[in-house]
Structures are given as structure tokens and as C-alpha cells.
Amino acid sequence: MVLYFGDEVDAALRAYLVVRKETPAQEDHQNALFLSLQNRRITDRAIQNLVKKYASITTKLKNISPHKLRSTFGTQLYAETGDIYLVANVLGHSDVNTTRKHYAKMDDTYRRRAANAVRLRD
């Protein structure tokens, strides 16, 4: 799969790769992009813990998880583009109805905005 990302992510990854090239990985982990403190491939659980740790520093209001970040990305993408098919594709949903179910509230937001967008002439 080809992964597309913006300029900010590109810059951050390029800066990280400079550091990563200087970090020796344990045997069988040399091809890992992200390494743990033990210089092994980072696990899904470690990512969950990192998100939880840094989210708790940022906000005390919500439990933030990788899934919540993904959902927020999908919501923002739909809000910016209004393209449910694009969101379904980017999130990897095989059925657009799955995406529509999760973002139905956004459709209601668009309908409310549309109701106030058109003004009658005097």
C-alpha cells in the first residue's frame, strides 16, 4: 500500500530518519522504522501507551487512543472534503455504508449548514 502524507509529516519523518540511521537495531529488527528503547520493533501496545501518555499531558478531558485519533482524522477529512467515498477509501473501509454509519452526524451538520446558507431576496 502506498501511504500519502503532507509536508509536515514528510519533514518530521526526514528528521527522524537522520536519528534512526544512527540507532543500531537488534538482530531481526533492522528493517523496523520505529524502535523501542530496547532497539526492537515498536509494538502496537507500545503505540497505544505512547498515545495515552502524551494525550494525558495535552488534555485531561478525554481518553485518547489511536482509534480515536483515526476517527478524528476521518471526521476532519469528511468535514473538509464532504466526500464519503474518499474517507471510506482512506480509512480502508470495504463498504462505504460502514463509513456513512460512523459519519452520519456529519451529514446532519451539512444539512443544517445548508439550511442557513441560502437567503431569500427581499
pLDDT of residue 59: 81
**32 plus 86 within the same structural domain:** no
Grid coordinates representing 6? 503532507
Higher pLDDT, 73 or 104: 73
> Does 34 reside within a domain?
yes
Instruction: Please report which helix (H) or strand (E) contains residue 36, including its range.
Output: none
How wide is the angle at C-alpha 31 spanned by C-alphas 29 and 32, nearest 5°?
A: 70
- Whole-model pTM: value is 0.69
Grid coordinates representing 116? 442557513
Q: CA-CA distances (angstroms) from residue 95 to 84, 89, 91?
A: 11, 9, 11
Higher pLDDT, 106 or 3: 3
Query: What amino acid is encoded at 16 in this protein?
Result: Y
Q: CA-CA distances (angstroms) from residue 113 to 40, 99, 107?
A: 49, 21, 10
**75 plus 118 within the same structural domain:** yes
Domain of residue 100 covers: 61-122
**36 plus 72 within the same structural domain:** no
Alpha helices in the chain (DSSP H): 7-21, 44-58, 66-81, 84-91, 96-102, 104-117
Total number of domains in the chain:
2
pLDDT tens digits for range 46-76: 999 999 888 888 887 778 889 888 988 998 8
Grid coordinates representing 57? 499531558
